[in-house]
Amino acid sequence: MTTDVTDSFHVFDTTLRDGAQREGINLTVADKLTIARHLDDFGVGFIEGGWPGANPRDTEFFQRARQEIDFRHAQLVAFGATRRAGTRAADDPQVVALADSGAPVVTIVAKSHDRHVELALRTTLEENLAMVADTVAYLRERGCRVFVDCEHFFDGHRANPAYATEVVATAHRAGADVVVLCDTNGGMLPSQVHRVVAEVLADTGARLGIHAQDDTGCAVANTLAAVEGGATHVQCTANGYGERVGNANLFPVVAALQLKHGRTVVPPAALPEMTRISHAIAEVVNLTPSTHEPYVGVSAFAHKAGLHASAIKVDPDLYQHTDPELVGNSMRMLVSDMAGRASVELKGKELGYDLTGDRDLVGRVVARVKEQELKGYTYEAADASFELLLRDEVHASPESGGSRHGGAKRYFRVESWRAIAEERPDGSHANEATVRVWAKGERAVATGEGNGPVNALDRALRVALESVYPQLARLELVDYKVRILEGRHGTNSTTRVLISTSDGSAEWSTVGVAENVIAASWQALDDAYTYGLLKAGVEPTE
Amino acid sequence: MTTDVTDSFHVFDTTLRDGAQREGINLTVADKLTIARHLDDFGVGFIEGGWPGANPRDTEFFQRARQEIDFRHAQLVAFGATRRAGTRAADDPQVVALADSGAPVVTIVAKSHDRHVELALRTTLEENLAMVADTVAYLRERGCRVFVDCEHFFDGHRANPAYATEVVATAHRAGADVVVLCDTNGGMLPSQVHRVVAEVLADTGARLGIHAQDDTGCAVANTLAAVEGGATHVQCTANGYGERVGNANLFPVVAALQLKHGRTVVPPAALPEMTRISHAIAEVVNLTPSTHEPYVGVSAFAHKAGLHASAIKVDPDLYQHTDPELVGNSMRMLVSDMAGRASVELKGKELGYDLTGDRDLVGRVVARVKEQELKGYTYEAADASFELLLRDEVHASPESGGSRHGGAKRYFRVESWRAIAEERPDGSHANEATVRVWAKGERAVATGEGNGPVNALDRALRVALESVYPQLARLELVDYKVRILEGRHGTNSTTRVLISTSDGSAEWSTVGVAENVIAASWQALDDAYTYGLLKAGVEPTE
């Protein structure tokens, strides 16, 4: 295994350009700068930033990226197109803007499918070749390194292999460093990609790259098949973001190359940053990180089946394809109603409770989890609520039965609450909440206002408890998720709320389930505060 | 292309057994029966229903499936394990229960990785072979067709190829119809799978199957690689549900085999049911259908980039890898702030508005969409709200400016509303809302109660309007989604609500964005009712 990243293999990221085509993504310049920093941390060789000159946002990004980011690994790439038909590259403002952008590397997109040349570009096959040659030569003269994206290459190679191959050869002869074969419509399968890449390499001798879309669900495999066929440049996007189904996902591609092929394509120290960076980029683009994403998903190393859980105690390596720590993830035992005692014991151990000696206790916890999950609770995503449940059972005498708070002491008891949301005749909104709680033997009544009813309840609860528990001031609600659980089989629908809370260093998640969003939010808030006080080492009294 | 599905190739679905291991899935017997009907409609050859005898739910499923489902294509498969070490198959209650289940086909899981035999099973390599042979022979005697799942096969073949191959040969000699090579830990890549399948086929002559987990993001490609290597039996799950990252996704596997390889593996008439069945199964397991799933995702044939949208008008086949109607999906133009005029014109046409002649109007719509999406609205998922926006602009004079409801007439105007949610000291909940609205020149004030504040608002609004618009009685809220849009770059967070409403035949989606969930829900309700009345042909007056 080589241990240095060299120019002989390129990891080229196009999250900021092609990835931004994904439905639901809309990036500001600040977003793009943040993502570029994350990608540089991950050690990709090239970051395609957008199309300078085509829109003001991309132009501003290139200006600010050069000033504000001190890239450690990546080179910034400007994207554009070959010159227009019937002109010279030096006279085409779009091409000149690419050279003027200051990006050391330029990718230009070229047509390589004969029908696209004729129907979409509306020019001749010969003129298209001249456009490729002329544009590459001009950009090389201006001092840029040039990569050429052959759009619709694989469809074009099927329709007219001689012409598609000639486009590659033309770009190569004109001085393109890499010619990238693009499966733009994403319809290819790995064996086809492998065969075509090997053929084109033999026919042209050009350095080849691969750009795969995921429409057959094979973008990662197509990228790897191209590498096995001789490509030495892979174009990917973080988390596979991209148009339609998406692009080849950067993270499993890099993980496969580095961990399975034994090829160093990003700095070895960056690989364990993969999970963090994947989630951070999801945060910036404002999409929930996919729980089931290979390597980096929160479920990627999660074990649920009772069968496996008991064997994992013997030897974890028998049940995972790679060590999750290599990619910054971790093995996780799921608490669920399919789980047996072994899962609960392992989960308890993870939380610092040794349950192995107490079969009754483990049985009670398994029963409580089953009962609660039937009602719609989920402890897989709410570790803090599970720990409170576990703690309740640890402190419960078997006779105390199934009250919601089991046997453990709490910090406060709720008498009642009320939240009011209104729109006034002038169109303005008002939200107010009142809570009545008992803590350390005192009754407190407090009212809060907020930008919504849950926010008003949160503030009212803080006001009611602040003199008794000043530790609550440090807690902040950092995420809030609502899910409507459909009523099937004759039951009513219920609402599940998950809240993430931070004390500035740690973060924890709690769950509430009720017939409406306010009542469910209240339960999750109650657990969030209780857990926060528990972690702060405060002694419960109620 | 063959046009009949024959036994020479098996599509084997294990959604109900292995798919149910996915984090967050918890199936009732009724759920399993519904899913089995959908899978049979899709024409899979085999449906693995669970482990009869291992838990009461699976036992009940097999009993009821035989009585209640008249399978047209699929055979029901019972799953179990080889007999315990040191006994006879006929004396092992778990094996006997499989034969007693009445399922015509049984899959038994066998160990094929030497370390798993020694560390997890804690028996000898010889005894494991005897367990395989004895169990297969017993089930064959009892009249079952037998498939053998070789667990951890690929890891086992790497560690000890001779032993792993011997397990396959033993199962084959004992009478197993198919021996399935399982990548249980999911760490394989397609070229490895292809090579191992071809080798084992040459070494044993057994009929081989493939069971791939998706931990490298290559489960679909690994399944196809195995088929190219000689496997004639593929094990998949609907939507790729399964433990950790998931299993090979049934839908892209079948689509690749049928549409790309030209092999008939499900009845041709069933293929266009794929999108509907994928979404229906997601509904049953209570997971949101993945918008970006190959072939069946709502984004799978959605086009966003202005560049593509204008060329799609020339020839759609240049821009899609397969005809979406072949899999029951459809091409869709996205309205988004990256969209240009071409996208809005195409979307207008889809909705029945010819905008091509009016450049001013298209410009105003593009500007309104950009402005609204900046605030957090999304029209990609709320066609009805987009149509109302479009209708407003069609009716607006250019001078009327950017009021929320533009220029079109509405059915009612809201003066004010108020919603109250409370928990009383006895722990019971109450929700009440009051609305003040004007319709057809009359002011109406009405109060509603509900199981939550939004439900109470919905009821109050119906009461206020029912005498004026009796058509509202037919409308039903069928889905309700809430998303918190994180406030970044110094802005406050906002809440986006998407509501789906049905009038019994059609269904439409509307969006509301506000600083809290109640106010956002109100906006989406307002649009939902307005759109419902518009579709009912009622004349607006306000």
On whether both A322 and A267 belong to a single domain, the answer is no
Q: What is the pTM of this model?
A: 0.73
Contact B422/A414, CB-based, under 8 Å?
Answer: no
ipTM for the whole predicted complex goes beyond 0.95: no
Q: What angle do CA A216, A221, A222 make, to 5 degrees?
A: 70
On whether both A395 and A449 belong to a single domain, the answer is no
Instruction: Give the pLDDT band (50/70/90) at residue A362.
Output: confident
Instruction: Give the pLDDT band (50/70/90) at residue B531.
Output: very high
User: A160, A216, A156: which is closest to A186 by C-alpha?
Assistant: A216
Boundary-marking domain end, from A269, A285, A301: A285
Q: If you average pLDDT over every residue of chain A, what do you get? A: 89
Residue B178, SS3 per DSSP: strand
On whether both A445 and A364 belong to a single domain, the answer is no
**Helices within A183-329 (DSSP H only):** 190-204, 219-229, 250-255, 274-285, 306-312
Average pLDDT over residues B26-39: 88
Q: Quick one: pLDDT at residue B24?
A: 72
Contact A419/B421, CB-based, under 8 Å?
Answer: yes
- The more confidently predicted of residues A169 and A317 is A169
Q: pLDDT digit string (tens) for B296-307?
A: 998 898 876 555
Which tokens in the block code for residue B174? 């004992």
Residue B483, SS3 per DSSP: strand
Report chain B residues whose CB lies below 8 A from the CB of A522. Answer: 423
A298 is a domain residue: no
Q: How far is A201 from chain B (nearest CA, A)?
A: 19
A473 is a domain residue: yes
Q: Quick one: pLDDT at residue A41?
A: 94
Tell which of A259, A292, A511 to mutate to test the B interface (max B CBs under 10 Å). A292
Q: Which helix (H) or strand (E) holds B94?
A: helix B93-100
On whether both A135 and A208 belong to a single domain, the answer is yes
| A482 part of contact set with chain B, CB < 8 Å | yes
A340: exposed, middle or buried (Cβ count in 10 Å: 0-12, 13-18, 19+): middle
Q: pLDDT digit string (tens) for A93-141?
A: 999 999 998 899 999 999 999 999 988 888 999 999 999 999 999 999 9
On whether both B112 and B60 belong to a single domain, the answer is yes
CA atoms of B154 and B218, how far apart (whole Å): 14
Q: Which domain holds residue B238?
A: 10-285
Query: Chain B residue with minimal CA distance to A330?
Result: B244
CA atoms of B516 and A429, how far apart (whole Å): 10
- DSSP one-letter code for A294: T
Residue A78 has pLDDT above 90, yes or no: yes
> In which residue are the tokens 């013997």 written?
A314
On whether both A247 and A380 belong to a single domain, the answer is no
Instruction: Give the pLDDT band (50/70/90) at residue B212.
Output: very high
B401 is a domain residue: no
| A23 part of contact set with chain B, CB < 8 Å | yes
Contact A436/B455, CB-based, under 8 Å?
Answer: no
Query: Chain A residue with minimal CA distance to B324?
Result: A215
On whether both B424 and B391 belong to a single domain, the answer is no
A299 is a domain residue: no
Which tokens in the block code for residue A480? 């809030």
On whether both B430 and B328 belong to a single domain, the answer is no
CA A85 to chain CA centroid, Å, is 40
Residue A366 has pLDDT above 60, yes or no: yes
A60: exposed, middle or buried (Cβ count in 10 Å: 0-12, 13-18, 19+): middle
Q: Are B210 and B180 contacting, i.e. CB atoms less than 8 angstroms apart? A: yes
The CATH code of the domain that includes A512 is 3.30.160.270
The CB density around residue B327, as the number of other CB atoms within 10 Å, is 26
Q: Quick one: pLDDT at residue A401?
A: 44
Q: If you average pLDDT over every residue of chain B, what do you get? A: 89
- DSSP one-letter code for A268: G
Query: Who among A23, A31, A294 is closest to B334 (CB)?
Result: A23
On whether both B220 and B276 belong to a single domain, the answer is yes
Q: pLDDT digit string (tens) for B406-418?
A: 567 889 999 999 9
B405 is a domain residue: no
Q: pLDDT digit string (tens) for B79-91?
A: 999 999 999 999 9
Residue A52, SS3 per DSSP: coil
Boundary-marking domain end, from A399, A422, A454: A399
Whole-Å CA distances, B186 to A261, A319, B404: 16, 10, 51
Which tokens in the block code for residue B423? 């928990």
| B404 part of contact set with chain A, CB < 8 Å | no
Q: Are B413 and B437 contacting, i.e. CB atoms less than 8 angstroms apart? A: yes
The CB density around residue A447, as the number of other CB atoms within 10 Å, is 14
Whole-Å CA distances, B188 to A224, A246, B154, B155, B312: 12, 22, 8, 9, 38
Q: Quick one: pLDDT at residue A311?
A: 67
| φ and ψ of A531, to 5 deg | -65, -40
Q: pLDDT digit string (tens) for A457-512?
A: 999 999 999 999 999 999 988 777 777 765 443 345 788 888 888 888 888 889 99
Q: pLDDT digit string (tens) for A201-247?
A: 999 999 999 999 999 999 999 999 999 999 999 999 999 999 999 99
Q: Quick one: pLDDT at residue A334?
A: 65
| B195 part of contact set with chain A, CB < 8 Å | no
**Helices within B142-189 (DSSP H only):** 153-159, 161-174
Query: Chain A residue with minimal CA distance to B192?
Result: A260
A490 is a domain residue: yes
**Helices and strands (H and E) in chain A: how many:** 17, 16
B491: exposed, middle or buried (Cβ count in 10 Å: 0-12, 13-18, 19+): exposed
The CATH code of the domain that includes A142 is 3.20.20.70
Query: Who among A191, A221, A414 is closest to B218 (CB)?
Result: A221
Query: Who among B299, B320, B489 is closest to A23 (CB)?
Result: B299
Restricting to B residues 251-310, those with a Cβ less than 8 Å away from any Cβ of A are 252, 255-256, 260, 283-284, 286, 291-295, 297, 299-305, 308
A209-223, B205-219, B286-300: least confident range = B286-300
Q: pLDDT digit string (tens) for A377-391?
A: 877 668 899 899 988
Q: Residue A478 is which amino acid?
A: V
| A447 part of contact set with chain B, CB < 8 Å | no
CA atoms of B88 and A62, how far apart (whole Å): 73
Q: How far is A162 from chain B (nearest CA, A)?
A: 19
Number of compact structural domains in chain A = 3
The CB density around residue B392, as the number of other CB atoms within 10 Å, is 22
On whether both A389 and A517 belong to a single domain, the answer is no
Q: pLDDT digit string (tens) for A407-464?
A: 678 899 999 999 999 999 999 999 999 999 999 989 999 999 998 999 999 999 999 9
A333 is a domain residue: yes
Q: Strand A332-333 and strand A413-423: pairing?
A: unpaired
Whole-Å CA distances, A110 to A53, A327, A494, B323: 18, 36, 53, 25
Average pLDDT over residues A149-160: 97
On whether both B269 and B215 belong to a single domain, the answer is yes
Q: How far is A143 from chain B (nearest CA, A)?
A: 28
A125 is a domain residue: yes
Boundary-marking domain end, from B396, B431, B457: B396
On whether both B226 and B88 belong to a single domain, the answer is yes
User: B132, B76, B124, B142: which is closest to B108 by C-alpha?
Assistant: B132
Query: Chain B residue with minimal CA distance to A453?
Result: B516
Average pLDDT over residues B381-386: 83
Q: Are A178 and A147 contacting, i.e. CB atoms less than 8 angstroms apart? A: yes
Average pLDDT over residues B99-109: 94
The CB density around residue B50, as the number of other CB atoms within 10 Å, is 28
Query: Who among B20, B220, B302 is closest to A217 (CB)?
Result: B220
Residue B36 has pLDDT above 60, yes or no: yes
